[in-house]
Amino acid sequence: MRLVVDPIKCDGRGLCAGLLPELIRLDDWGYPIVNPEPLPAHLLPHARRAVEDCPVLAIALRRSQVKK
């Protein structure tokens, strides 16, 4: 699994970065920059919470593509 931000929906609320600072940091305008790597298992619950708590539903968990 990995995190994907929808840049159209994202409003720069910054909740996700507060909930998951390990993988998400904010740029100068408060918009998230997400680590594109597959999620380590121990961060999965935090990632789920970041997805659920986004006020504009702009962040989602996607299944990682299988690397060739």
Partner 1 sequence: MPDTLLWYATRGAGAVTLILLTAVVVLGILTVLRVQSPSWPRFLTTGLHRNLALMTLVFLALHILTAVVDPFTHLGWAAALIPFSSYYRTFWLGLGVLSFELLLAIVVTSLMRGFLGHNAWRAIHWLTYAAWPVGVLHGVGTGTDTWSAWMLAITAACIAAVGVAIFVRLTSGSTDPLATARASFRTAVDRREVR
Nearer to partner 1, 22 or 67 (CB): 22
| Structure tokens belonging to residue 66 | 């299988």
| Structure tokens belonging to residue 33 | 């920059």
Report in angstroms how near the CB of residue 25 gets to partner 1 at its nearest.
14
Choose, by CB under 8 A, the member of 1, 2, 5, 15 that binds partner 1: 15
d(Cα 19, Cα 55) in Å, to the nearest integer? 13
9 binds partner 1 (CB under 8 A): yes
d(Cα 3, Cα 64) in Å, to the nearest integer? 9
Choose, by CB under 8 A, the member of 55, 65, 66, 67 that binds partner 1: 55
